[in-house]
């Protein structure tokens, strides 16, 4: 063993690895060394370590990988939520309310709020998070949002193309998003996204944004098919986006197109050419009273799925991935293993951080295997099934993030 502190977690009732072989081990143990996993196997064969944690039969999963959130904001949209619960439809226009509050907040306030949301997520088992910009909507505030996000979360996505701000011309604003605003955020971000939807950005504007961001070297993601059928999914496929998110309204052709992107992928080994992940956001679907995304049909068609919380003030003010997993099992007809996989490995895949194409696993999150980041979630339960069997019960018992015990 190296000079780093090692921790043996033994007596694990169920170790759901979500590794390449989809292994679920009983009576297992894990050794963490520094920030990585150095050993997994039967508890009876575990090596000794500097520290020892007795899991007392509890289940251990990879930490949740939340691949879709909007954490850089100030303000509150309770009134909009109440109106929606009274029958009003969600529309993209509500974003402007948050933009006003976000622009008015100081750097310190935005940082404090974002860090608080990250802490809330980690306390519930999330160990790897993405956040988007998208409530600044001018050059200065998008750059500021990107800078704060880069200091707060693991992966940052540029979403200048979230809404055309009040008073702006849509074509001129799209030029700004594709030009000077992109240059300003570029040092802080590795992904770009566009809200391709009625009331937000048209197909043509979305295509311009995706082209400029791809040319700037950013990985791509798309908010698509959230409020109705539309071009989002097909655009994501055309541009080879890492994920298309929401996917509530899909035609048979959309599902077929997404499945086609996974033709060069070997799902049993997690190797080959990555396609476009379909990211389902069930908490958002419930909070906006949209139909749940057809996760079952997507998996059956061969599409790789992610589940994410989409924490934001408008459509999904929660960071609870457990709630998403519960809903995916109870309402979307995923098995517990599929739902947990989508919320761990699937999120990592959507962020290019799964291990398949990375032989030594150095960058890998979202699965438990030797060499991967030690992101572990121990449940107050003997199996992951309890996430669905005991809906609403806070089941997080312990969390390690990059080898550090956080809960």
Binding-site residues, in ranges, read 68, 70, 77, 135, 162, 223, 226, 310, 312, 314-315
Q: β-pairing, 265-266 with 271-272?
A: antiparallel
Number of residues that bind ligand NIG (CB under 6 A): 13
Coil, helix or strand at residue 172 = helix
Q: How far apart are CA 304 and CA 402, in angstroms?
A: 25
Task: Name which position in 67, 276, 315, 326 contacts ligand NIG (CB under 6 A).
Answer: 315
**Binding of ligand NIG at residue 309 (CB under 6 A)?**
no
Residue nearest to ligand NIG (CB): 314
Rounded least distance, CB 95 to ligand NIG, Å: 4
**Binding of ligand NIG at residue 312 (CB under 6 A)?**
yes
**Binding of ligand NIG at residue 94 (CB under 6 A)?**
yes
Query: Using alpha carbons only, what angle is made at residue 314 by residues 311 and 319, rounded to the nearest 5 degrees?
Result: 15
Residues 67-86 that bind ligand NIG (CB under 6 A): 70
Rounded least distance, CB 199 to ligand NIG, Å: 10
Rounded least distance, CB 98 to ligand NIG, Å: 5
**Binding of ligand NIG at residue 95 (CB under 6 A)?**
yes
Query: In the complex with ligand NIG, which residue's Cβ is closer, 152 or 315?
Result: 315
Q: How far apart are CA 182 and CA 243, in angstroms?
A: 20
Coil, helix or strand at residue 254 = helix
Q: How far apart are CA 405 and CA 392, in angstroms?
A: 24
Q: How far apart are CA 104 and CA 78, in angstroms?
A: 18
Coil, helix or strand at residue 20 = coil
Rounded least distance, CB 77 to ligand NIG, Å: 7
**Binding of ligand NIG at residue 306 (CB under 6 A)?**
no
259 and 301 Cβ atoms separated by less than 8 Å: yes
Alpha-helical (H) ranges within 314-393 are 321-330, 336-343, 345-350, 386-389
Token pair of 25 as six digits: 């081990």
Which residues make Cβ contacts (< 8 Å) with residue 300, sequence separation at least 6? none
Q: How far apart are CA 21 and CA 19, in angstroms?
A: 5
Token pair of 152 as six digits: 């707060």
Rounded least distance, CB 12 to ligand NIG, Å: 35
Angle, helices 139-150/107-122, rounded to nearest 10 degrees? 40
**Binding of ligand NIG at residue 287 (CB under 6 A)?**
no
Task: Name which position in 195, 239, 262, 345 contacts ligand NIG (CB under 6 A).
Answer: 195
**Binding of ligand NIG at residue 133 (CB under 6 A)?**
no
Rounded least distance, CB 134 to ligand NIG, Å: 7
Rounded least distance, CB 400 to ligand NIG, Å: 29
Task: Name which position in 205, 226, 344, 367 contacts ligand NIG (CB under 6 A).
Answer: 226
Q: β-pairing, 24-33 with 36-42?
A: antiparallel
User: Which of the ranges 32-40, 233-241, 310-318, 352-360 carries the binding residues for ligand NIG, by CB under 6 A?
Assistant: 310-318
Query: In the complex with ligand NIG, which residue's Cβ is closer, 30 or 308?
Result: 308
Footprint of ligand NIG (CB under 6 A): 70, 94-95, 98, 195, 223, 226, 284, 310, 312-315
């Amino acid at each position: 063993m190296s000079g780093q502190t090692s921790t043996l977690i033994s007596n694990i009732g169920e170790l759901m690895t979500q590794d390449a072989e989809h292994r679920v081990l009983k009576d297992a143990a894990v050794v963490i060394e520094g920030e990585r996993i150095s050993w997994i196997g039967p508890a009876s064969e575990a090596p000794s370590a500097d520290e020892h944690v007795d899991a007392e039969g509890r289940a251990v999963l990879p930490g949740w990988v939340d691949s879709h959130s909007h954490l850089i904001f100030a303000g509150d949209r309770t009134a909009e939520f109440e109106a929606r619960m009274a029958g009003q439809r969600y529309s993209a226009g509500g974003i402007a309310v948050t933009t006003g509050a976000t622009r008015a907040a100081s750097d310190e306030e935005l940082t404090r709020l974002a860090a608080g949301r990250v802490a809330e997520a980690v306390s519930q088992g999330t160990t790897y998070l993405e956040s988007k910009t998208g409530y600044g909507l001018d050059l200065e505030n998008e750059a500021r949002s990107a800078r704060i996000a880069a200091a707060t979360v693991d992966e940052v996505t540029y979403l200048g193309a979230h809404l055309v701000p009040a008073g702006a011309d849509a074509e001129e604003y799209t030029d700004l998003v594709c030009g000077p605003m992109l240059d300003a955020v570029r040092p802080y971000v590795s992904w770009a996204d566009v809200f391709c939807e009625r009331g937000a950005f048209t197909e043509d504007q979305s295509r311009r944004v995706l082209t400029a961001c791809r040319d700037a070297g950013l990985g791509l993601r798309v908010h698509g098919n959230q409020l109705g059928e539309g071009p989002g999914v097909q655009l994501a496929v055309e541009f080879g986006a890492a994920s298309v998110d929401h996917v509530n309204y899909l035609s048979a052709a959309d599902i077929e197109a997404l499945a086609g992107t996974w033709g060069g992928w070997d799902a049993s080994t997690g190797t080959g050419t990555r396609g476009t992940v379909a990211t389902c956001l069930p908490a958002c679907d419930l909070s906006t009273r949209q139909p749940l995304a057809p996760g079952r049909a997507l998996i059956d068609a061969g599409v790789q799925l992610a589940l994410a919380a989409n924490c934001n003030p408008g459509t999904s003010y929660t960071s609870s991935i457990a709630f998403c997993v519960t809903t995916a099992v109870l309402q979307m007809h995923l098995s517990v293993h599929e739902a947990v996989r989508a919320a761990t490995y699937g999120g990592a895949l959507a962020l290019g951080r799964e291990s398949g194409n990375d032989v030594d696993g150095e960058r890998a999150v979202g699965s438990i295997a030797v060499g991967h980041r030690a992101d572990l979630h121990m449940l107050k339960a003997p199996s992951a099934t309890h996430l669905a069997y005991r809906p609403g019960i806070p089941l997080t018992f312990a969390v390690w993030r990059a080898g550090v015990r956080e809960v």
